[in-house]
Structure 1
Amino acid sequence: MATTQVLKSEWTKIKSVQSTVWTLGLSAVVTIALGVLISLLAKNEFKKLSTEDKLTFDPTFVSFAGMSLGQLAMIVFGVLVVSNEYNTGMIRMSLAAVPQRGTFLFSKVTVASALALLVGMATSFISFFLGQAMLGDLKASIGDPGVLRAVIGGGLYMTLIAMISMGVAAMLRGPTLALGILMPFFFLLAPILGNVSATKKVGQYLPDQAGSKIMQVVPPLNGDVPYGPWGGLLIMALWAAAALLGGYVLLKKRDA
């Protein structure tokens, strides 16, 4: 089967499964809504902040506060895209139709990543503009130094979250096990390692901790991170590449 036909097939699979479409929509809604709410709260509480907090106040990053929760739905999307076929047993038919397993996985990841990128970019731009509207006099402009980079980076961040999830799902096959690892990793392990002084140097190289730097415009006063915004995104991209490579290697070696 030609690569273009495989791509069309993967697009048909994704759009025909309502759960994957809904999770993408939920990711956007949660991210935008929470970002608007936190931006409004930040404006109302700004006068109560300490001098140091006022100096490091980042209106752009505040509008992306919803991504911490919105990425949960993006993780579910990435897992479902890969694991649905294992759940239904369709994976056998898919691999029989496309015996080149690299082409099969590449096509699935390409289509799903393109969708994640489209939704992620739209979500990032909408979150920014609505968040700045809530911030009033504290707002940043899209033309300010570093702001456009941060907004575009927000969309790339969400896409890489989905790609990492797809790679892990390809390695583990089952959605329960994949989500059982990804959820604690992103919502428990990474924040703990990234905020505890004894493990902070390790935590800053975890994918979400490193990748989120792309969305920051105003760096912390005492920040000692050894990489910049694009360096952090590169670290996250390497995590995604490693996850997808692991998924490909295991898919190639084992039976469906």
Structure 2
Amino acid sequence: MFALAGPVDSGFRVRAVLLASPRNSATAIGIVLALLFIFPIVTRVVSDPDRHRHLEQIAPMTAGLAVQRTIGVSELPIGPWQGVGVPALWAVAALLGGGLLLRARDVWPRASTGLFGSPR
């Protein structure tokens, strides 16, 4: 988490998130692939065993691959059923983020207008 010095209004945070969100599909695909492949690299670098296990538990690729394992399940950092839930939570977070960006970028019609922008 980033810590900013001094008082920061919430409008600044909203603008920062909007500026950081990709508008290009190639950039979005690059971010998704980075999320998939950066977690295993970072987990190899972390030396603390508790943090290493936690990163393996929240990583989307590690959790998704835990679903396929049938033998030696006790050795995994996360169980198969939890492995189903972690990618689902990542998908829900992505959908919520996309919905919030859609709403914030004023693409979604306001309540005072009809579906196609005509007044009610």
Tell me the TM-score normalized by structure 1: 0.29
Residue 193 of structure 1 is aligned with which of 12, 18, 42? 42
Distance 2:70 2:46 in 1: 23
Matches within 5 A, 1:84-233: 172-187=22-37, 189-196=38-45, 198=47, 199-204=51-56, 205-219=58-72, 223=75, 225=77, 227-233=78-84
The gaps in structure 2 that reach 5 residues or longer are: 1-20, 108-120
Task: Please tell me the residue identity of whatever aligns with 1:240.
Answer: A
User: Taking CA–CA contacts closer than 8 Å with sequence separation of 6 or more, which of the two structures ends up with the larger relative contact order?
Assistant: 1
1:239 alignment partner in structure 2? 90
Distance 1:174 1:254 in 2: 15
**CA-CA distance at 1:252 after TM superposition:** 1.1
2:103 alignment partner in structure 1? 252
Distance 1:211 1:224 in 2: 12
Moved over 4 A (4+): none
Structure showing the higher helix proportion among its residues: 1
Tell me the TM-score normalized by structure 2: 0.57
Task: Calculate percent identity across the aligned residue pairs.
Answer: 35
